[in-house]
């Protein structure tokens, strides 16, 4: 037989596009359209419905950037359409390539009942099937004219991301507003041909099945009359019935399709628009659930459910009904799909506490899975947090985006820093926006790396990022792929059903130890410094507020602010979403975040001040108390308590340095700052050890060009290192302060359009050099780092993560190590040779790099560089312009315990309050290796005290936690403060003996204790 394959394939493409698709709506009549433009921000639904509308016509322009236009569409179904299926086709000017990234609408009935969302892949509203004829139609469309930020030419700077700079010119044109007959046979034929055509293209050309499909398609096209598609569609479908009925091979891969709409809680749109995106999507998905008996939809992020509940209660009622039926599945158990690299220990725990508790309280649903398809890498402390929250599975997809190394598994056990293992799945479909296209399904089968020992994978199915969700076309395709020869078998399932089956069939999955590092989007550890600083400071203010409120409640009967703290925590958790905290959202999002963090700080500082006043005693006594919220005693004040500090016995001194500059000395550390304002020596007097590598200078600010190939706010590419400018010229090097308690040197540098002012301080009685940096930043596409070359030989270094630290190599033996050229730390980075180490601590930066060189003397220089600022121009062209303040400290001679302590110190400064009352801690640990991360009252308002602690140094630790109140019992709990069947390390529940609890913790183990007490 002659090879006519290409001819038939080309024929299919043209006939589908030019004849069959246009026949979907064979008859139509126009609707009447009127519009009202809401002034400013979106208005309540009732206001939009009642507004005075003005007639408009198809073809007219509408929609200023970020505006809301209320369209009223009305008409009458022709009598002659009786018995047929009728839909409204409402095209606001959609570009079908961009679902979720442009204009959208929510359709309401005249009484304000939501009907469904409109988006580029969902432009229809069903009138009836069949209609009686003569029906009056009236709908209102709340239409959002969101601008396209990431367009055909991506990553170009745009001012559309800020409402004040986006302009007022209309963005869209009304394309169609019709009532139309919907030909269900033609629609089904389209699905048949798409499924078979897409499958055909994925099969081997020399395979029989491909030719069977080709011949069936050819016969179907022969049966179509190009001038009468509607009259011949049924005959064409008959030609395809046989090949559609041929079952899949028994060994075919099994795909669990999970309806999905990965909705970014903010990204290229502000938070307020996400509220509406979620309502539109949820309206569509609940409607699909009513129409499609097999369909299951999963939505993560408790915050998004809470938004629907608050803003669209009618939609929420439908959601609750579908949840009760097991068809609309609350997934993941987190407040938002957060970043996991940068949130601190307690914040990461509270993501699960607040997310899981919302789902339990609202729906009676408890999640066993964490659901994070789009997060930019996963911190090594996360498995234990997932397990401590009562979950056991993790799903993500983003690691498939890595640029250098292909991850070797799709289903595996992920082991965290404490040894906890979580059953984890990466969908081999390599997208969280699967559309059931044949190319995607075939890719999942070919790509699946666990063939032979596992046979299942998951496909999150639906338009996402900006929402939209699953479409009826995707459901139709999945139905045809349920059992089709040549394809994977597809079935709709909830995430838990997939994980249960996948875990059951895979007895001994491979293990991946340590962080799941994404070899992409590394610059998200630095972009939008104010957002990151707001997060870090909010986390520590929350720690203080809970600690002092609990202490005041126990000591004085102070009213613990349960609801206020709950609300603030949820605000902070929302802003840890994986496009807010990473700095990859539009300008509007980050300007709003800055204001929110300022309000959070004011409110939390108010709580802290009020509780400390309640504890401090007589403010007129002339005495002053120091409140220490850190988990370590300092200056004679116990951890979590307040008292009077003991003056340091040592004194600090400053003298001129020969050749220029200054020498700072406090008997523990001697620091030389040269005439350039650079630290050329930091000598640890106790050990007789120099910190700074020979011939090098520390605290060296370095400036790099920063223009990645794409994803400007997200990425820094390795070639940025090829060009560097050392900022060694100083405008000023002068004494900033001099007293017996501390000495300081001020260094001012100008570069480009910017200025950096640094104050280097050596305080009496401390072995650290504090560095306060203010940068007035006006660069673009530049990367600012602070370098600390250390005379230390180390093949690995420690970086703090949640509830502990992880080690990363300092060398680049393999491509895996070389790819980690920018990495995350929390409060510290630590380098160590046996017996001597150095820590760099910070108050608000996350990105860093560590490199090593060997000198001519064969000594090793290991350089830590802290990432301070970037200046990408997309999606926010004004990223980080303005004044920023950072605090760092160099700690020579530091062990890992010192790094932990100093990291907390720089983030939790002492507070001085007038008063005369000593405040003893609610809990005291007798081993500094056991760090208390939270002291609070139980969320259920029982009055119980909840304490969370962890082993912080990576070794086994025993400790006695002594309560500073009359305790009546203790229970080890999960993160949700529910007693566990067993205590820590699988032992029996801890016991309270003599007001103390004895603990024995494995490396990095978390323990949550709930302690009951005698009421005050």
Distance CA 282, CA 467 (A): 9
Residues 586 and 886: beta-carbon distance below 8 Å: no
Rounded to 5 degrees, φ, ψ at 114 are -65, 140
The phi and psi torsions of 421 (rounded to 5 degrees) equal: -115, 135
Residue 712 buriedness (CB in 10 A; 0-12 / 13-18 / 19+): buried
In whole angstroms, give the CA distance from residue 619 to residue 840: 38
Q: Residue 146: left if φ>0, alpha if ψ -120 to 50, beta else—which one? A: beta
SS3 of residue 758 by DSSP = strand
Which pair of structure tokens corresponds to residue 95?
């570009």
Which residue of the set 374, 465, 665, 684 is catalytic?
Answer: 374
- Supply φ then ψ for residue 432, to 5 degrees: -100, 15
For CA atoms 21, 24, 26, 27, give the dihedral sign.
negative
Tokens representing 124 are 């229809």
> Cis peptide before 755, with omega less than 30 degrees from 0?
no
Residue 662 β-bridge partners: 656, 673
Phi then psi dihedrals of residue 150, to 5 deg: -105, 85
Contacts of 41 (CB under 8 A, 6+ apart): 68, 272
Residue 936, SS3? strand
Count other C-beta atoms under 10 Å from residue 869's C-beta. 25
Q: Can you tell me the distance from the alpha carbon of 766 to that of 891, in angstroms, rounded to the nearest whole number? A: 9
Contact 938, 562 (CB under 8 A): no
Two tokens at 589?
């999002």
Structure tokens that stand for 849 in this block: 């790099």
* 374 given a catalytic annotation: yes
Look up residue 193 and give its two tokens: 């041909």
Strand partners, 172: 62
Measured between alpha carbons, how far is 106 from 444 in angstroms, rounded to an integer?
Answer: 34
Report the run of H or E that residue 702 belongs to, with start and end.
strand 700-705
User: Which phi-psi region, left, alpha or beta, contains residue 167 (left: φ > 0; alpha: ψ -120 to 50)?
Assistant: left
Give 799's strand partners: 806, 829
Helices 208-223 and 184-202 pack at an angle, to 10 degrees, of 150
Starting from the edge strand earliest in sequence, which strands make up the sheet with 828-833, in order?
Answer: 732-738, 742-751, 754-763, 769-777, 882-892, 836-842, 828-833, 796-801, 804-809
Q: Could you give the CA distance from residue 66 to residue 81 in angstroms, rounded to a whole number?
A: 39
d(CA 219, CA 407): 44
**Tokens linked to 520:** 């992409």
At residue 634, the 3 state secondary structure works out as strand
Half-sphere exposure of 518 (CA within 13 A, CB side): 26
205 has which bridge partners? none
Query: How many Cα atoms within 13 Å fall on the side-chain side of residue 498?
Result: 33
| 890 neighbors 691 (Cβ within 8 angstroms) | yes
- Integer Cα distance of 801 and 698 in angstroms: 25
Structure tokens that stand for 710 in this block: 């794409």
* Cβ atoms < 10 Å from Cβ of 314: 16
Three-state secondary-structure class, residue 258: strand
Measuring CA to CA, which residue among 772, 750, 779 is closest to residue 880? 779
Beta bridge partners of 853: 861
Catalytic residues: 374
């Amino acid at each position: 037989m002659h090879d006519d394959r290409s001819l038939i394939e080309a024929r299919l493409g043209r006939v589908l596009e030019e004849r069959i698709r246009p026949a979907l709506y064979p008859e139509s009549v126009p609707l009447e359209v009127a519009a009202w433009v809401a002034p400013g921000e979106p208005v309540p639904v009732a206001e939009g419905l009642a507004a005075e509308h003005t007639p408009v016509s198809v073809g007219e322009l509408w929609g200023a950037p970020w505006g809301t236009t209320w369209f009223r569409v009305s008409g009458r179904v022709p009598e002659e359409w009786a018995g047929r299926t009728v839909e409204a086709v409402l095209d606001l000017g959609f570009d079908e390539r961009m679902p979720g990234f442009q204009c959208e609408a929510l359709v309401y009935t005249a009484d304000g009942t939501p009907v469904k969302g409109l988006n580029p892949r969902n432009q229809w509203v069903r009138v009836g099937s069949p209609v009686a004829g003569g029906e009056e139609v009236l709908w209102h469309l709340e239409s959002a004219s969101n601008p396209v930020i990431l367009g055909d030419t991506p990553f170009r700077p745009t001012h559309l991301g800020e409402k004040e700079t986006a302009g007022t010119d209309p963005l869209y044109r009304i394309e169609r507003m019709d009532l139309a007959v919907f030909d269900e046979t033609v629609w089904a034929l389209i699905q048949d041909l798409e499924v078979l055509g897409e499958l055909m293209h994925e099969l081997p050309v020399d395979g029989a099945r491909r030719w069977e499909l080709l011949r069936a398609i050819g016969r179907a096209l022969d049966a179509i009359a190009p001038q009468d598609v509607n009259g011949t569609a049924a005959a064409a479908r008959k030609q395809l019935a046989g090949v559609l009925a041929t079952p899949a091979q028994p060994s075919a891969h099994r795909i669990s399709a999970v309806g999905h709409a990965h909705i970014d809680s903010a990204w290229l749109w502000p938070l307020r628009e996400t509220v509406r995106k979620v309502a539109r999507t949820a309206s569509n998905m609940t409607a699909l659930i009513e129409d499609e008996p097999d369909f299951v939809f999963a939505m993560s992020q408790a915050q998004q459910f809470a938004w629907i509940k608050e803003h669209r209660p009618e939609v929420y009622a439908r959601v609750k009904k579908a949840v009760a039926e097991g068809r609309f599945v609350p997934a993941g158990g987190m407040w938002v799909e957060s970043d996991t690299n940068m949130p601190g220990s307690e914040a990461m725990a509270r993501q699960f506490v607040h997310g899981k508790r919302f789902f339990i309280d609202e729906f009676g649903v408890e999640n066993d899975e964490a659901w994070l398809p789009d997060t930019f890498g996963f911190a090594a402390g996360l498995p234990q947090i997932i397990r401590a929250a009562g979950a056991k599975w993790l799903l993500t997809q983003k690691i498939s985006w890595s640029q250098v190394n292909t991850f070797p598994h799709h289903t595996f056990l992920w082991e965290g820093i404490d040894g906890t293992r979580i059953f984890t799945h990466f969908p081999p479909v390599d997208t969280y926006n699967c559309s059931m296209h044949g190319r995607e399904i075939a890719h999942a089968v070919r790509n699946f790396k666990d063939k032979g020992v596992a046979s299942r994978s998951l496909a999150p199915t639906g338009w996402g990022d900006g929402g939209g969700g699953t479409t009826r076309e995707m459901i139709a395709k999945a139905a045809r792929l349920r059992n089709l020869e040549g394809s994977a078998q597809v079935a709709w399932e909830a995430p838990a059903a997939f994980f249960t089956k996948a875990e059951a069939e895979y007895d001994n999955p491979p293990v991946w130890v340590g962080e799941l590092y994404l070899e992409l989007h590394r610059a998200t550890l630095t972009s939008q410094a104010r957002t990151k600083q707001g997060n870090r400071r909010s986390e520590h203010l929350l720690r203080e507020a809970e600690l002092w409120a609990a202490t005041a409640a126990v000591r004085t009967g102070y009213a613990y602010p349960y609801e206020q703290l709950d609300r603030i925590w949820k605000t902070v958790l929302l802003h840890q979403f994986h496009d807010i905290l990473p700095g990859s959202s539009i300008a509007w999002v980050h300007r709003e975040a800055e204001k929110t963090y300022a309000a959070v700080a004011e409110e939390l500082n108010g709580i802290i001040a009020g509780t400390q006043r309640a504890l401090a005693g007589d403010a007129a006594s002339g005495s002053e108390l120091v409140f220490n919220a850190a988990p370590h005693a300092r200056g004679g004040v116990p951890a979590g308590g307040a008292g009077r500090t003991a003056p340091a016995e040592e004194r600090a001194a400053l003298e001129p340095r020969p050749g220029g500059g200054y020498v700072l000395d406090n008997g523990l550390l001697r620091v030389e700052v040269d005439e350039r304002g650079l630290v050329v020596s930091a000598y640890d007097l106790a050990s007789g050890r120099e910190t700074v590598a020979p011939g090098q200078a520390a605290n060296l600010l370095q400036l790099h060009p920063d223009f990645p190939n794409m994803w400007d706010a997200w990425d820094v590419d390795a070639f940025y290192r090829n060009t560097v400018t050392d900022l060694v010229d100083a405008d000023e090097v002068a004494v900033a302060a001099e007293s017996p308690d501390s000495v300081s040197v001020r260094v001012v540098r100008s570069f480009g359009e910017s200025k950096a002012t640094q104050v280097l301080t050596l305080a009496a009685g401390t072995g650290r050099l504090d560095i306060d940096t203010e940068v007035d930043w006006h660069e673009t596409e530049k990367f600012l780092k602070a370098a600390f070359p250390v005379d230390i030989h180390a093949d690995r270094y420690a970086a703090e993560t949640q509830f502990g630290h992880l080690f990363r190599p300092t060398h680049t033996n393999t491509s895996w190590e070389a790819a980690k050229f920018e990495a995350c730390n929390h409060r510290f980075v630590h380098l160590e040779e046996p017996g001597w180490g150095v820590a760099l601590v910070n108050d608000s930066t996350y990105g860093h790099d560590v490199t090593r060189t060997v000198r001519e003397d064969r000594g090793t220089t290991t350089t830590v560089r802290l990432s301070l600022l970037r200046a990408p121009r997309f999606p926010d062209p004004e990223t980080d312009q303005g004044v920023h303040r950072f605090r760092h400290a160099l700690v020579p001679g530091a062990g890992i315990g010192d790094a932990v302590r100093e990291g907390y110190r720089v983030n939790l400064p002492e507070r001085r309050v007038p008063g005369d009352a000593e405040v003893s801690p609610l809990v005291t640990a007798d081993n500094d290796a056991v760090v208390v991360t939270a002291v609070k009252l139980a969320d259920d308002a029982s009055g119980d005290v909840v304490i969370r602690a962890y082993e912080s140094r990576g070794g086994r630790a025993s400790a006695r936690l002594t309560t500073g109140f009359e305790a009546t019992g203790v229970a080890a709990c999960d993160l949700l403060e529910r007693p566990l069947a067993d205590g820590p390390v699988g032992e029996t529940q801890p016991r309270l003996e003599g007001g103390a609890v004895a603990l024995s913790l494995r490396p990095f183990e978390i323990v949550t204790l709930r302690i009951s007490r005698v009421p005050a």
